[in-house]
Structure 1
Amino acid sequence: MAQYQTLLYYCYSTIANAEQFAADHLKFCKSLGLTGRIIVAEEGLNGTVSGTVEACKAYMDAIYADGRFGAIEFKIDEVDEPSFVKMHCRYKSEIVHSGLRDPNIINPQLKTGKHLEPKEFLAIKDDEDVVILDVRSNYEHSLGKFKNAVTLDIENFRDFPAMINQLAQYKDKKILTYCTGGIKCEKASALLLHEGFKDVYQLHGGIIKYGKEAGGEDFEGRCYVFDNRLSVDVNQVNPVTISVCYNCGKHTKKMINCANPECNEHFTQCDDCGTAMDGCCSDTCQEHPRKRVYDGTGYYVKVPQPINRKAEVA
């Protein structure tokens, strides 16, 4: 059994004085020896933390002891080492940035798409009246996605609202949304309902839970994760690799960050090109004076930022 675990979770639940909560929560996580990244907002929590099995249990027990977070469902991965180097807990205006602040448009505590458990999603995903909608960013679905899923050309989730008109052709279909752990679908499905889509569903627990409970069937490629693993396998039934090397076009499931910190682009790159390009996406980046040392992983610890700085309002 692995000595460490990585916990992925979120909860939409009102947090009064969220900025102070973030500061206090950071101290608590550090006291347990956890590493990870947590976003706190008045609307709830969004986090991935990693540590010893004992520390993770203590964290989950403390979260569940707080009545505001009883609905949290932790996705637990057994890992050989912590999935982060440092612990960050930051206050922001949203736990997943949509750019929509009007609670009359999006309020996941009041209205979202119907939640489908993984096996329910599996049972209906191929029906003729169903459209599977990936609400993640380009670099995520280029690495892996459900077979026949509709994907959107977006760099960040905040671009999703502007793409709604492109989905109008599916208004008479059952829309099955999915994302990594479920958090983006809460807002995406709420927005679709607000825009007149009648039959909207979401994959409860996201791709990660689907892999654990439904074997990951028909999820093609790997799933991008926001820690130093960068991606994880999902499909234990009929796995394939769909991503290709950004530089040579050869199939590869390895995703990295560009070694040029001023670029830091997420992209797929095979090991041969990684060695030849020093983990960079282009010749220009390879020649950049601040280029980081490429160790074969393509993961770099971010430059520390002020803890709990209130995010600027967009």
Structure 2
Amino acid sequence: MTKYQTLLYYCYSTIENAELFATTHLEFCKSLGLVGRIIVADEGLNGTVSGTVEACKTYMDTIHADPRFAKTEFKIDDVEEPSFIKMHCRYKAEIVHSGLRDPHIIDPTKRTGIHLEPKEFLEMKDREDVVILDVRSNYEHSLGKFKNAVTLDIENFRDFPEKISELEQYKDKKILTYCTGGIKCEKASALLLHEGFKEVYQLHGGIIKYGKEAGGKDFEGKCYVFDNRVAVEVNTVNPVVISKCFNCGKTTAKMINCANPECNEHFTQCDDCGWAMDGCCSEVCKEHPRKRQYDGTGYYVKVPQQINVNKKGRADFIEELRPVTAQ
């Protein structure tokens, strides 16, 4: 019987006093025993939370009871244990960092690409007049992407706007955008329309929903997620592994963070190289004095670490990345 769930969701909706909302919402989540990461901005909510089935239901019911968030769609995964260690809810300028803050240019509540349900996306994606566009970052699409998708060399979604010029050759095509849960496509598709692309669509609910409702057909590899799971299976129809070990080139689906905290690079690494390199991407990182202990997972969480005692006799703390205990 399922004991825990992980919820992925977003909602573009104006929040008055969003900074105060973030503070009170954090306390509400903690009262339910939830863990996760939520971003609150004037433009809406973006979150992944995890907890017991009962706590998750209470959370979803509460969100839906608020008129501002009544249309929020939750992607629900049953999990064996909570997908986070702590609960964070922070106020930021945007719920997904794009640098596109001019509502006269980009406003997902007014104009975006046409939303395609997973089965509609599946039916359209292989047509000759269609281009599938991945709007995610390099480390995400290197782990998994749709077959024949166009990918962009971007380290972060905020780099997407400057890459629009590389897509000019596709202006006479139907553009089908996709991302993990749909949130990046809301702004990416709106920007494409603003830049003169005529037919722009987006995969509603993203890769996660596509896996649940269309079997994940032709999604090659795994889907990167922003929690302790790191990557999840999507394709139950024709799965393949496409990612390669950064060090030796062997096919592997395992993604880790470099054990050198000053590098902390996301990259794929096979188990053999993981142990040989001590969880590092290079010999330089392997010899770094602050290198973290590698336990085979390559995943590290932030925990408080005392670094000094101040003049008032109280300890000052920093957050130091430490490895999660292997399960």
Fold-level similarity (TM above 0.5) = yes
Q: CA separation in 2, counterparts of 1:3 and 1:234?
A: 22
Q: Equivalent residue for 2:23?
A: 23
Q: CA separation in 1, counterparts of 2:37 and 2:74?
A: 15
Higher strand share: 2
Q: CA separation in 2, counterparts of 1:303 and 1:225?
A: 21
Post-superposition shift, 1:2? Answer: 2.3
> Scaled by the length of structure 2, what TM-score is found?
0.92
Q: What do you get for the CA RMSD once the two structures are aligned?
A: 1.0
SS in 1 for 2:301: coil
Matches within 5 A, 1:42-57: 42-57=42-57
> What letter matches 2:271 in structure 1?
D
Q: Equivalent residue for 2:141?
A: 141
Q: Equivalent residue for 1:310?
A: none
SS in 2 for 1:284: helix
Q: CA separation in 2, counterparts of 1:25 and 1:293?
A: 35
Post-superposition shift, 1:303? Answer: 5.4
Post-superposition shift, 1:162? Answer: 0.1
Matches within 5 A, 1:85-104: 85-104=85-104
> What letter matches 1:164 in structure 2?
I
> What letter matches 2:213 in structure 1?
E
Q: Equivalent residue for 2:190?
A: 190
Deviates more, 1:267-276 or 1:286-295: 286-295
SS in 2 for 1:177: strand
Q: CA separation in 2, counterparts of 1:278 and 1:26?
A: 37
1:163 aligns with 2:163: yes
Post-superposition shift, 1:59? Answer: 0.6
Task: Tell me the percent identity.
Answer: 83
> What letter matches 2:78 in structure 1?
E
Larger Rg belongs to: 2
Q: CA separation in 1, counterparts of 2:33 and 2:155?
A: 33
Q: Equivalent residue for 2:245?
A: 245
Matches within 5 A, 1:1-314: 1-302=1-302
> What letter matches 2:189 in structure 1?
S
> What letter matches 1:253 in structure 2?
A
SS in 2 for 1:190: helix
Post-superposition shift, 1:302? Answer: 2.9
* Residues 16-42 of structure 1 deviation map (CA, whole Å, 9 limit, x = unaligned): 000000010110101111000000000
Deviates more, 1:173-182 or 1:273-282: 273-282
Post-superposition shift, 1:217? Answer: 0.1
> What letter matches 2:220 in structure 1?
E
SS in 1 for 2:300: coil
SS in 2 for 1:288: coil
> What letter matches 2:12 in structure 1?
Y
> What letter matches 2:59 in structure 1?
Y
Q: CA separation in 2, counterparts of 1:27 and 1:300?
A: 25
Q: CA separation in 2, counterparts of 1:287 and 1:17?
A: 47
Deviates more, 1:195-204 or 1:282-291: 282-291
Q: CA separation in 2, counterparts of 1:136 and 1:303?
A: 28
> What letter matches 1:142 in structure 2?
S
Q: CA separation in 2, counterparts of 1:302 and 1:186?
A: 30
Q: CA separation in 2, counterparts of 1:84 and 1:291?
A: 23
> Scaled by the length of structure 1, what TM-score is found?
0.96
